[in-house]
Amino acid sequence: MEELKKLTVEVEGFGGQGLLIDGKVLEGKQEEQILRSFVDARNEEYLELIDKCEDYFKEIEHETERKNFIFAEVEENEEELTKLQQWFKKIEKRDLMGAPLRKTAIEKLKACEKVYEEFAGTVYEHQKRR
């Protein structure tokens, strides 16, 4: 039990929240509140990821409008896409309750992958013509 207390203090030291529970929740309402807090926390994370996906779309749109079809942009956008994908995996590992925004986050990530592939294809085609 002492190790769990130490772990909780460490998690809280990094700005997280720790909750040690020993036993059974006697009130159904309280159990619902605990479960809801897990879902809400994951939804917040998924929402932030979704917002970053929107930023990703805008970035590629901006580079396309500028006709900035260089390999450095492909690499930069590939790195950003990889970060988004890794972030999703981290959130998904914590999503024990199946938060509703998970599905939207998956759809946005797939859209990011598609936009990236289209942009990379445009860059490669542009470079071939040079």
4 assigned to some structural domain = no
Range of the domain at 50: 24-128
115 assigned to some structural domain = yes
109 assigned to some structural domain = yes
Quick check: 115 pLDDT over 90? yes
- The overall average pLDDT reported for the chain is 91
Contact status, residue 91 vs residue 42, Cβ threshold 8 Å: yes
81 assigned to some structural domain = yes
pLDDT of the residue at 62: 97
59 assigned to some structural domain = yes
6 assigned to some structural domain = no
Instruction: Quickly list DSSP for 83-97.
Output: HHHHHHHHHHHH-SS
96 assigned to some structural domain = yes
Q: What's the pTM?
A: 0.79
Quick check: 99 pLDDT over 80? yes
Question: What is the arithmetic mean of pLDDT over 16-42?
Answer: 82
When divided into structural domains, the chain yields a total of 1
Does residue 39 or residue 17 have the better pLDDT?
39
Question: What is the arithmetic mean of pLDDT over 24-37?
Answer: 81
